[in-house]
Amino acid sequence: MLRPAMIRARQPRNRRSLVMPVVVALVATLLTAAACGTPPGLRPAVVYLVRHAEKQDGSDPSLTAAGHARAEALAARLDSAGVERILSTDTKRTRETAEPLSRRTGLEIELYDHRRLSELADALRRDQRTVLVVGHSNTTPAFVRLLGGDPGAPIADDEYDRLYRVDLADGTTDIERTRP
């Protein structure tokens, strides 16, 4: 017969041998989560909106040299902003304004219909990503308003340097001027 004092649970020889796999698994999980970035639902959704840069004359004109310089300046400004999508209307001047950021980030330029801004605004609120939207002098302020922001004064025909930043959480709108 065994006496109770003699019955003892088997103790691991080295507690470190049990702790180490748990630590390794925890570190691997944290590194994987960090590499994936913040999940879309947990980060603030920001939409940057800009009118196309300076354009030439014509029915579907390209950008001027000054317009190309401004598009490059915009790309440099937004390069570290964490833009995850680039949206543009289907005109040369808007696509050319978006192109430098597309090259820098490797993101494709997605075309949108300027006549369906309300639907796009709803989709961006659900999407919860950082987005650049390139539009026109008449559609950009309207889009800012649909996103809950304040577009300020109308964009003048010769004004190409206004960059809006709308925080979708509270509609906070920042307006800055981009210089080539």
Sorted by where each begins, the domain ranges of the chain are 10-36, 40-177
- Would the pTM of this model clear 0.85, i.e. be above it? no
Given the candidates 3.30.1200.10, 3.40.50.1240, 3.30.365.10, 3.40.190.170, the CATH classification of the domain at 40-177 is 3.40.50.1240
The one-character DSSP state at 81 is T
- Digitized pLDDT (tens) for each residue of the chain, 180 residues in all: 445 555 555 555 555 565 565 555 555 554 554 444 445 445 568 999 999 999 999 999 999 999 999 999 999 999 999 999 999 999 999 999 999 999 999 999 999 999 999 999 999 999 989 999 999 999 999 999 999 889 999 999 999 999 999 998 888 888 887 666
Nearest by Cα to 49 from 170, 179, 139: 139
Beta strand 162-167 with 109-111: parallel, antiparallel or unpaired? Answer: unpaired
State the Cα–Cα distance between residues 9 and 7, nearest whole angstrom: 7
State the Cα–Cα distance between residues 143 and 49, nearest whole angstrom: 8
